[in-house]
Structure 1
Amino acid sequence: MSIDRRSLLRGTVAAGAALPLGALATGQSQAAPAYQLAVLDVNRNNVCVFNRGDQFTDANIKWSFNPGWGDVLETRFRDTNNDGPVFMVAGGSPGNGKGHAEIRRRSDKKLLWQATFNNYPHCIERVRGPGAVVVAGTRTDPGKNGGSLHLYGPANGSISSLKYLRSYPFRQAHGVLWDPLFNLLWAVGGTVLRSYRVEGTYQNIKLVKAGEWAIAGNGHDVQPDYTDTNVLYVTDSGHVYKVDKRNPAAMEVSSTRKYVKSFSRHSSGEGLWTSAPQDASNPFGTSWVHFRWPSAATQRPGGRLYKARLVESAYQ
């Protein structure tokens, strides 16, 4: 199915009526599905993987990683042709705005590529095919007025050959996601959701803006719905949006819960999300991962969980 390019170029949101998070889907199984998820814990500066049905205690950790450079604000799991299964991490220190991004081999955590930044990276994504990597940095100063997407291209098929190409201004850039169905890179930050085409090969790769749509503000996360390849979930400081990629201008306001930091939907139909405290007492989250359809929650004792990610290498 081809995407409607006229729809891609619209710049306004036609939002539907707000629903509670529990109303985003109906008719789901009452049993907890079997899958693994990774929690990003800024208290411990690490990523830990748990089985969905386990308690999130140290004894039940299936895999973990601590990069040693501060808050881990993103992780992604991807498969590559030349380097096999990899995981990516990004984050840094809110105090000085500096940060890091890394790509490592999953089997032995060997470092394949790394980069440092001055604008507090919150997300990293790899573009399947061209092999480009995009890192979202939120700012260029202690405030919130800066932000950019940093683009890296490979000299050959290996991750270790990635070189910096250029940066694209994007105010408060927070989230990026590659969409293999429509061959688009989706990015969110500030008051916009934006899409880009990724053109060229190797170190001639560039991002070309395809469309832009308004959201309320402080855009935070963009993630797939693994039950429907046409759907994305986008969060900002006061909403969870359900976005049909064929017509993003008609995105639905699916929840008005504040400060949802991450939201995605497993192939079983279960949603999982994290949020900061509703009184804004801490911007980095609580000790809980929440689930929907049915409603449930699991605590990571002593944790402050910025995001929860599916341990899933597929893009959608």
Structure 2
Amino acid sequence: MKRRTLLAGAALAAPASLLLGSPAKAATWSIAATEQVSNKVLMWDKDVAFSDANVQWSWTPGAGGWYNLSDVRFRNTASFGEVALVAASGGNVGIVDKTTEQHQELNDLLWTGSPGGNPHAVERIPDIGAIVTASSSDGLLAGGYLCVYGPTAISNPSTLARVQTIAFKGAHGVLWDPSLGHLWAVGDKVLRAYNVTGTYRNTRLVSAGKSVALSGLGHDLQPDYSSPGHLFVTDTYGAYRVDTATLTKTTVSTEGSLKAWSRHSSGEDVSVRADGTGSRTWGSPTVRFSVGADRTRTGAEFYKARIYTTAFE
């Protein structure tokens, strides 16, 4: 049975900022996914087969600390234009200089960090150029943590260095909230907000005193692009839509093993649910859509699927 969102009402038109095409092609948008068998970030138009021939863009990091890619998202920068932020369970995170080249590789990295501890997510704080990562297990600290990297020159990512490590049990996701000026982080049984203070190497995260309780291990953390001021979080027991102003959450799915969940501006939900089989039981060969057709790539193990946009919300 095809899944449907719980929100009623007419679908919203997708703004041009979320689309690869012009507003006249509002039905067309793209998905970027971390595929762990080939160990690539792969992007497709959501309405075509997820085949090699249809790949719009890819990034291949090679081996070492880059195995099992776990996160990708896209952001705009003043100095380099669009970049891709990537994280890998092997221990590394990085900033990719996303160019017009269709297939990019390790040599396109502007910066690499090694927070270790099974990195699951990476985010960039705009204007100050800081990077925040989420590691889910033992590494620099036991049990999971956030790392803050600050630059000496905002225009030069190669100057980024680790300036803060915060204990955060089971840390799995981070997301910048431009409306409230918060960095949201999700981990074991909690979604928590931080304020960002200072600049350059003095950048620090400080608790904003806001949190939302979860029943299980928090996993994915992504925007609701159909409604600014809301985000989606998944945990062991389902997916939830959170109002960031009131800190209330609404259940949108009671499925377990949800590794990714977000909503396009049209109101269509995108998700990945681990199927418990294959070479990586925590992944799936299928990216699911609540309105359009699901897309399966035989032999693949998708972990995260992201709506292609540089917008934060």
Aligned to 2:7: 25
Amino acid across the alignment from 2:138: T
CA distance in structure 2 between the aligned counterparts of 1:270 and 1:309, rounded to whole angstroms: 13
Give a deviation string over 1:288-313, Cα, whole Å, max 9, x none.
11111x26311112211111111111
Identity %: 38
Question: 177-186 or 261-270: which moved more?
Answer: 261-270
Aligned to 1:86: 83
CA distance in structure 2 between the aligned counterparts of 1:221 and 1:28, rounded to whole angstroms: 27
Counterpart check, 1:106 vs 2:98: yes
Give a deviation string over 1:137-167, Cα, whole Å, max 9, x none.
11116xx961000000111122222111010
Counterpart selection for 1:151 from 148, 153, 166: 148
Give a deviation string over 1:196-215, Cα, whole Å, max 9, x none.
00011111111011112210
Counterpart check, 1:234 vs 2:233: yes
Task: Give the TM-score normalised by the residue count of structure 1.
Answer: 0.86
Aligned to 1:71: 68
**2:241·2:250 contact (CA, 8 Å) conserved in 1?**
yes
2:309 is paired with a residue whose SS is coil
Closer, same or farther: CA 50–23 of 1 in aligned 2, 3 Å: closer
Task: Give the TM-score normalised by the residue count of structure 2.
Answer: 0.86
CA distance in structure 2 between the aligned counterparts of 1:259 and 1:24, rounded to whole angstroms: 19
Counterpart selection for 1:40 from 15, 34, 44: 34
Aligned to 2:294: 297
Amino acid across the alignment from 1:260: L
Counterpart selection for 2:168 from 167, 170, 173: 170
Closer, same or farther: CA 282–147 of 1 in aligned 2, 3 Å: same
Structure 2 alignment gaps of length 5 or more: 12-24
CA distance in structure 2 between the aligned counterparts of 1:21 and 1:187, rounded to whole angstroms: 27
Amino acid across the alignment from 2:214: I
Closer, same or farther: CA 295–86 of 1 in aligned 2, 3 Å: closer
Q: How many Å apart are 1:172 and its aligned residue? A: 0.6
Aligned to 1:221: 220
Aligned to 1:14: none
Aligned to 2:244: 245
- Alignment size in residue pairs: 287
Structure 1 alignment gaps of length 5 or more: 1-19, 94-98
Aligned to 2:56: 62
2:158 is paired with a residue whose SS is helix
Q: How many Å apart are 1:244 and its aligned residue? A: 0.4
Counterpart check, 1:195 vs 2:187: no
Give a deviation string over 1:10-53, Cα, whole Å, max 9, x none.
xxxxxxxxxx9524233456x99310111111111111100011
Give a deviation string over 1:68-94, Cα, whole Å, max 9, x none.
13111001111001222111111133x
**1:28·1:270 contact (CA, 8 Å) conserved in 2?**
no
Aligned to 2:259: 261
Aligned to 1:312: 309
